[in-house]
Amino acid sequence: MAAYKHSAVLLLCCFALVSDRTLASKPDQNRAEPEPGPESHARKSDAISPREDDSNREPEPEPAGSVQEDPGSRWQATEALDPAEEAAGTRRRAPNDQFQEELVIRPLSSGDIYSSFQFRTRWDTDFFKPGRKVANYRLFPKSLGQVITKFSVRELHVSFTQGFWRTMQWGPPFLSAPPGAELWVWFQDTVTDVDGAWKELTNVLSGIFCASLNFIDSTNTVQPSASFKPLGVGNVTNQKFLRYAVLPREIVCTENLTPWKKLLPCGSKTGLAVLLKSEKLFHSSFHSQAVHIRPVCQNWECKSTSWELRQTLNVVFDLHTSGQSKREWSLFKMFSRTLTEACPLASSSKIYVDVTDNSQGALFELSPSTPSLSQAVVLGDRRTYSVYDLVNPDAFGAQRSLNILLRWRTADSADALRPLLHGERYVAGYGLQTGEIHTLIYNNHPYRAFPVLLLDTVPWYLRLYIHTLSVTSRARDNKPSYIHYQPSKDRLRPHLLEMLLQLPPNSVTEVTVQFERALLKWTEYTPDPNHGFYVGHSMGVSILYSILGSWSSVAMDTNVCVSVFPCKEESTYFVRVYTEPLLVNLPTPDFSMPYNVICLTCTVVAVGYGSLYNLLTRTFQVDEPSPSLAKRLANIIRRMRGVPLL
């Protein structure tokens, strides 16, 4: 990806150079003029001020509606506001948006530590109200609001992930995301040209997040038929308005984090976001940041919707590289910062530490300790959390700074939380002509079978032999109950394979399909083709049954559940499982080949042509055969002897 960016920059440079050289006659529209500096116009605009006497007035806030009567104002607004608005102006309106921030820390059994940030902005507004011309943004970021309005977006989910979530070591993540960049968007059903809007949207998002999303085109975009449902309210599930794309090669770094932080109302100045220092966050085993926008119900009646922007950031710090192998973690050690205050705009600001396995402090010691505990069902499991409420100033203690310390008492770890479902994927076969993709899905539940919807997108240059598709579990054929397959078109669209599989309990299901590697045109290779080509993950979607069975909760603080995870207090919950992306080698030519081919062909042509030319233009004549060597020698001797020549 760096190479892509680099080449894009190069291209820009080229253009800049060229335009500099050749367009000297056209001064730049915006910049080339010698502008007077911005300082030079501190003008006393006395004619402008509508009320010169204002400074002498009582410094009391004035209702907006009452000011029109002033006769001295030059820009007098004679148009009266309507009385309803006037009334609204006089009393303070309750803000129709709110902001919440949360951090969940989960010590992992491997000794690593998992921190999950979540920032949630809700705005009770309707972007698509007819006649709405002006948008007044307060907490919601303007750039995303404009994107929603311009492209008529109904739901937008974008994630950038560096590293792979090790499910077997770390257990299931709160919100899973595939390595690289993933983007899926539902458009409003008023959009007529979905592909055009998608193309433009990816370019705009690529600008907003400084990512290579502009490389999303028709060759890596699919419209899954069943794997995605809108996560927000609304019942339009016409797949025509859904687009899904993955860039497995995308490398996530600081340049993606900075614009992501800028979307927060408090920026990285106060609140939990001060912890997001890039040099620490990217020195980790796993980093995933995401933006989810969706319409949600304003209240339980759900008569009107509001827009929810969730920004999540998940990071796993490694015991050995970040923790110096000491089983001791603190906020300062993880983020090289401590917390001093909550974001004043946040209606709630909390830190949750997962203490489920730590009954009576047997496993680790948590300081400062907090008496407030909360319980929630997360991913089908009942978890207990210690809660630090940052809105309450007592949370910061006497030092006015909060540094949560987590010291392990034992060196040996508890049993890892075994995920019920996880997937693996690899390429088998040898040589550069054919191969086989193996996808393994594990169901670790001892007695329950799960249905899984498997989504696979494979780029066109791996030509799938769909007749070789086989699904086996426990060495027996497992016939998918639903298959949706869309074959690829060269250079136009990828393969799309969706299957509904029934996973038997405690089993491994293996999906294999053979493929042939296509030959690319030489301009289609990436800058480092010998590295291989990334093929996106496959994704399983499933509804799982909670281990707890149907668990009716007592009254408890369910905030963590409502806002952090898509979970309900029910016996089933919904997970997405991602496998690793694949790295496939394609037959790669030597890239000086075109020139060699040109030279070789030209030489062959030249040789053939040369001999032909010679043959055609040379004149042939019968030559007197010259006497043989023996005869000539004999003649010389004869001449010397004076004998007549032969």
Check if the beta carbon of residue 168 is closer than 8 Å to that of residue 416.
Answer: yes
Per the CB < 8 A criterion, the answer to whether 5 and 251 are in contact is no
Residue (141 or 224) nearer to other proteins, CB: 141
Q: How far, in Å, are 128, 135, 188, 216, 242 from residue 191 at the CA level? A: 12, 21, 6, 19, 11
C-beta closer to other proteins: residue 300 or 620:
620
Distance of CA 158 to the CA centre of its chain: 5
- Cα 112 to Cα 316: distance, rounded to the nearest angstrom: 7
The window from 325-333, 353-361, 390-398, 605-613 that contacts other proteins (CB under 8 A) reads: 605-613
Q: State in angstroms the smallest separation of the CB of 73 from other proteins.
A: 7
**Site residue total, other proteins (CB under 8 A):** 100
Which among 442, 455, 547 has a CA at the least distance from the CA of 505? 442
Question: Which x/- pattern over 225-264 shows residues binding other proteins (rule: CB under 8 A)?
Answer: -------------------------------------x--
For other proteins, which residue of 7, 8, 9, 15 counts as binding (CB under 8 A)?
Answer: 15
Question: Applying CB under 8 A, does 23 fall inside the site for other proteins?
Answer: yes
Residue 269 in contact with other proteins, rule: CB under 8 A:
yes
**Closer of 363 and 402 to other proteins (Cβ):** 402
Residue 142 in contact with other proteins, rule: CB under 8 A: yes
Q: Rank residues 65 and 532 by Cβ distance to other proteins and give the closer one.
A: 65
Phi, psi angle pair for 361, to nearest 5°? 65, 30
CB of 343 to other proteins, least distance (A): 8
| 191: contact with other proteins by CB under 8 A | no
121 with 140: CB under 8 angstroms?
yes
**Among the listed residues 441, 480, 485, 483, the one whose alpha carbon sits nearest the alpha carbon of residue 464:** 485
Binding map of other proteins across residues 196-215, x = CB under 8 A, - = no contact = --------x--xx-------
Encode 347-412 in three state secondary structure: EEEEEEEECCCCHHHCCEEEECCCCCEEEEEECCEEEEEEEEECCCHHHHCCCCCECCEEEECCCC
What is the 8-class DSSP label of residue 339? Answer: B
For other proteins, which is the closer residue by CB, 190 or 621?
621
If the CB atoms of residues 23 and 236 are measured against other proteins, the closer one turns out to be: 23
Q: Exactly one of 300, 430, 447, 620 binds other proteins (CB under 8 A); which one? A: 620
Is 284 a binder of other proteins (CB under 8 A)?
no
Which residue has 């030509």 as its token pair? 463
Subset of residues 298 to 357 that bind other proteins, contact rule: CB under 8 A: 341, 344-345
| 67 is a contact residue toward other proteins (CB under 8 A) | yes
Q: Which two tokens stand for residue 603?
A: 């030489």
Q: Which of 37, 431, 446, 549 binds other proteins (CB under 8 A)?
A: 37
Told to check if 618 binds other proteins by CB under 8 A, we report yes
Rank residues 147 and 539 by Cβ distance to other proteins and give the closer one. Answer: 147
Contact (CB, 8 A) for 471 and 479? yes
**Site for other proteins, residues 401 to 460, rule: CB under 8 A:** none
Q: Which stretch binds other proteins (CB under 8 A): 59-67, 172-180, 423-431, 447-455?
A: 59-67
> 137 vs 525, which CB is nearer to other proteins?
137
Give the separation between CA 468 and CA 489, rounded to whole angstroms: 19
Return the residues of window 93-112 that contact other proteins according to CB under 8 A. 93
Task: Give yes or no for residue 59 binding other proteins (CB under 8 A).
Answer: yes
**How many alpha carbons lie under 13 Å from residue 482 in its C-beta half-sphere?**
11
Please, where are the H alpha helices in 448-583?
A: 559
**In this chain, which stretch among 136-144, 329-337, 429-437, 627-635 interacts with other proteins, using CB under 8 A?**
136-144
Task: Point out which residues pair with 339 in neighbouring strands.
Answer: 402
Q: Which one of residues 598, 633, 637, 646 is an interface residue with other proteins (CB under 8 A)?
A: 598
84 binds other proteins (CB under 8 A): no
Question: Judged by CB under 8 A, does residue 133 bind other proteins?
Answer: yes
Compute the distance between CA of residue 441 and CA of residue 546 in angstroms, rounded to an integer. Answer: 19
Give CA–CA dist 562/378, Å, rounded. 10
* Residue 388, strand partner residues: 351
Out of 398, 411, 555, 616, which residue is the one contacting other proteins (CB under 8 A)? 616
- Figure out which of the listed residues 135, 302, 543, 548 binds other proteins, where binding follows CB under 8 A: 135
- C-alpha 183, offset from chain centre: 6
Query: Which token pair is 163?
Result: 């590293």
258: its two tokens: 């900075």
d(CA 420, CA 503): 11
Is residue 328 within 8 A of residue 80, CB to CB? The reply is no
Q: Which stretch binds other proteins (CB under 8 A): 116-124, 131-139, 549-557, 571-579?
A: 131-139
Interacting stretch for other proteins, rule CB under 8 A, among 76-84, 308-316, 449-457, 527-535?
Answer: 76-84
Among 521, 511, 442, 406, which residue's Cα sits nearest to residue 106? 406
Peptide bond into 178 cis (omega under 30): no
48 is a site residue for other proteins (CB under 8 A): yes
**In the bound complex, what is the minimum distance in angstroms from residue 20's beta carbon to other proteins?**
12
Residue 467 in the binding site for other proteins (CB under 8 A):
no
**Residues 145-184 contacting other proteins, CB under 8 A:** 146-147, 149-150
